[in-house]
């Protein structure tokens, strides 16, 4: 898979099958759309290209009111790769991009920039300034410029409820990891490189792996039982804190800290994936470090009981995205930075 920041250069603009969207979470609805796009791309002998945006358009238009992110960019790109995408264009969403007319968007992006021969969109897709472009205008543009256009209906769960990023986000905000798991088709995860921290956890007797979070408002927060890939060949059990650490830090910086059960070693610089299995509690601001330490001890005990009841570290379902030991591609062309 190749990842481009902005439109590919002239040498990389081979004709493609294309779908466009934010793909926050790459949930089962997205997965169904990508499966249809992959099928059409293969039938036409074309690579499958996804165009997505950074930042999320709603973050650009309303930074304070935009919804929390489900996934960091790295995790979104990895999920797209796992769903068979050959090429990803991460378009910088800014005022110039947002002000394009629907016709300009088609001519500059779909035709001139990506050389799309077939385009798939969801039933809520809009494009161009003031979201003026829709399926009808895109289909008409396709007839003029020589590309096919297909629309895909909303994907629903067995109860008939729409599978959407909004539903996944609401489940995460509520700490309902079971509901999120159903909509995502996998455990919710966050990946990143382990960095040096203040080593407070080590001083308290619970050393942690520290992963910085690039977004100030992740959808999930609290204390969790987790499974960690990428430290050893097999996944490791742990307890994680995701949030602001109110007892020890007033900077407002979001951090993911993971204490691995019965593991000691150096993981600095490693790219790891943290999968969230169960929420234990919300973050709290404790009166002192002694009270905080006691709470962490209880969290660790709950985690041990959970894994003991499960017979060890519960493994991902066979064939699920990221079900290998690390879940990360390692070839030179696939590596995501």
The answer, yes or no, to whether residue 31 has pLDDT greater than 80, is: yes
By residue range, what is the domain housing residue 13? 2-152
Counting Cα atoms < 13 Å in the Cβ hemisphere of 22 gives 22
Same domain (yes/no): 104, 231: no
Tell whether 23 is covered by a domain. Answer: yes
| Contact present, 210 and 197 (Cβ < 8 Å) | yes
Same domain (yes/no): 116, 236: no
Tell whether 167 is covered by a domain. Answer: no
Same domain (yes/no): 202, 148: no
The answer, yes or no, to whether residue 322 has pLDDT greater than 50, is: no
Confidence at residue 200, expressed as pLDDT on a 0 to 100 scale: 65
The answer, yes or no, to whether residue 325 has pLDDT greater than 80, is: no
Same domain (yes/no): 145, 190: no
Tell whether 102 is covered by a domain. Answer: yes
- pLDDT cut 70: percent of the chain above it: 87
Same domain (yes/no): 289, 198: yes
The answer, yes or no, to whether residue 329 has pLDDT greater than 60, is: no
**Pairing relation of β-strands 116-122 and 148-152?**
parallel
**Boundary of a domain, candidates 152, 171, 196:** 152
CATH of the domain at 58: 3.40.50.620
Q: Quick: pLDDT tens for 59-114.
A: 888 888 889 999 999 999 999 999 999 999 999 999 999 999 999 999 999 999 99
| Contact present, 166 and 67 (Cβ < 8 Å) | yes
User: What is the number of domains present in the chain?
Assistant: 2
Same domain (yes/no): 137, 83: yes
Same domain (yes/no): 206, 299: yes
Same domain (yes/no): 194, 146: no
Same domain (yes/no): 217, 77: no
| Contact present, 58 and 66 (Cβ < 8 Å) | yes
Tell whether 100 is covered by a domain. Answer: yes
Tell whether 323 is covered by a domain. Answer: no
Comparing CA positions, the residue from 233, 208, 166 lying closest to residue 25 is 166
CATH of the domain at 245: 2.40.30.30
Find the distance separating the first CA and the last CA of the chain, reported in whole Å. Answer: 13
Residue 23's pLDDT band (boundaries 50, 70, 90)? very high
Q: If you search the block for the tokens 């992963």, which residue do you land on?
A: 211
More confident of the two residues 320 and 41: 41
Same domain (yes/no): 125, 232: no
Same domain (yes/no): 296, 199: yes
**In the predicted model, what is the mean pLDDT of residues 128-142?**
95
The arrangement of strands across the sheet holding 209-212 comes to: 188-193, 271-281, 222-229, 236-243, 255-260, 209-212
Tell whether 161 is covered by a domain. Answer: no
Confidence at residue 11, expressed as pLDDT on a 0 to 100 scale: 61
Largest CA distance in the chain: 70
CA 245 to chain centroid: 23
Tell whether 106 is covered by a domain. Answer: yes
Confidence at residue 63, expressed as pLDDT on a 0 to 100 scale: 86
The answer, yes or no, to whether residue 319 has pLDDT greater than 60, is: no
Same domain (yes/no): 144, 211: no
Tell whether 329 is covered by a domain. Answer: no
């Amino acid at each position: 898979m190749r990842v481009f920041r902005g439109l590919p250069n002239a040498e990389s603009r081979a004709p493609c099958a294309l779908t466009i969207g934010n793909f926050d979470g790459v949930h089962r609805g997205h997965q169904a759309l990508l499966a249809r796009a992959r099928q059409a791309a293969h039938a036409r002998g074309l690579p499958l290209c996804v165009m997505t945006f950074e930042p999320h358009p709603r973050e650009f238009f309303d930074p304070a009111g935009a919804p929390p992110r489900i996934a960091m960019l790295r995790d979104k790109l990895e999920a797209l790769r796992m769903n068979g995408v050959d090429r990803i264009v991460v378009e910088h969403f800014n005022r110039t991009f947002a002000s394009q007319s629907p016709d300009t968007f088609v001519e500059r992006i779909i035709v001139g920039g990506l050389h799309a021969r077939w385009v798939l969109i969801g039933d809520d897709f809009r494009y161009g300034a003031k979201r003026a472009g829709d399926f009808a205008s895109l289909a008409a543009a396709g007839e003029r410029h020589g590309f096919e256009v297909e629309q895909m209906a909303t994907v629903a769960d067995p109860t008939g409820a729409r599978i959407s990023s909004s539903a996944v986000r609401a489940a995460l905000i509520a700490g309902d990891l079971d509901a999120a798991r159903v909509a995502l088709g996998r455990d919710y995860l966050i990946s990143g490189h382990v960095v040096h921290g203040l080593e407070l956890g080590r001083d308290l007797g619970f050393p942690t792996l520290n992963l910085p979070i690039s977004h100030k408002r992740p959808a999930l927060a609290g204390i969790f039982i987790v499974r960690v890939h990428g430290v050893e060949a097999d996944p490791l059990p742990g307890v994680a804190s995701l949030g602001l650490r109110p007892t020890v830090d007033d900077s407002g910086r979001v951090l993911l800290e993971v204490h691995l059960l019965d593991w000691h070693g150096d993981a600095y610089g490693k790219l790891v994936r943290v999968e969230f299995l169960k929420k234990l509690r919300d973050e709290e601001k404790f009166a002192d470090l002694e009270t905080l330490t006691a709470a962490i001890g209880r969290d660790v005990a709950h985690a041990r009981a959970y894994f003991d009841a499960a017979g060890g570290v519960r493994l991902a379902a066979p064939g699920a995205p990221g079900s290998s030991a690390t879940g990360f591609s390692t070839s030179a062309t696939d590596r995501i930075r």
